[in-house]
Amino acid sequence: ARHHRRHEGDRGNVTLFLTTSLGYPTLAWSIVLGGLLLFWLVAALGMLGMDALDIDLGDGDAGGMASRLGLDGLPTLVVLSVLAFFAWILTWFVQLLVLAPLPALLRYGLGTVVLLLSPVPAILLTALVLRPLRRLVLRMRPLPAASLLGRIAVVRTPEVDACHGMAELDDGGAGLILQVRHDGAAPIPRGERVVLLEHDLQANTWKVMAERDYRTL
């Protein structure tokens, strides 16, 4: 009997979850979130390139808002997915705890207000969660190879040799971490300044030379 009651309770929880998710106003965000989840599934299967995560917002209101919130530079679909998730969570709980017991007319009226206002706290929560990740994302995002040729970077790993090594390039912003390789007889130690000579597109690595040696050429 106890097992039966537990089974009935689990089934009731699932029913409550689905009823709330597919009810108004949560349904609107459920559709948006479902579409984004489908997009991520397609991307995970390799059917879309990672450049599809970025949508050009231009310099209009959306792009300006992203900049003011400190989210510029992050993949647009990442920001939208987190925003939709928070908006869905907020709307779901408001519907469950506040709107569900109300009469239908009042429920739909207040539900519309909740639906229209839900992006506001969702945007603030998105900025709170994603802003700390922006610096890391910008550091790992490669710049066009042509713009880096001849630039100076600083070795950050214990050494750089023909097989491994990383260096940090000061790009005037958050900085950029690059995979670098050195074919010389002796490895280049940490803290040494190196010159970016050649980019291996397939391996996404840079051939480098110590700045002091480069200047003697």
- Strand pairing partners for 207? 181, 198
pLDDT on residue 59: 45
How high is the pLDDT of residue 171?
73
Per-residue pLDDT of the chain (217 residues; tens, 9 = 90+): 555 556 565 677 888 899 999 999 999 999 999 999 988 887 777 555 444 555 544 444 455 566 677 776 677 788 889 999 999 999 999 999 999 999 999 999 999 999 999 999 999 999 998 888 776 666 555 555 557 888 999 999 999 999 889 999 987 766 788 889 999 889 999 999 999 999 887 778 899 999 988 887 6
- Alpha-carbon distance 100 to 111, whole Å? 10
Report pLDDT for 56.
Answer: 45
Task: From 212, 108, 71, select the one nearest 155 (Cα to Cα).
Answer: 212
Q: How crowded is the C-beta side of 93, counted as CA atoms within 13 Å?
A: 6
The CA distance from 131 to 65, in Å, is 13
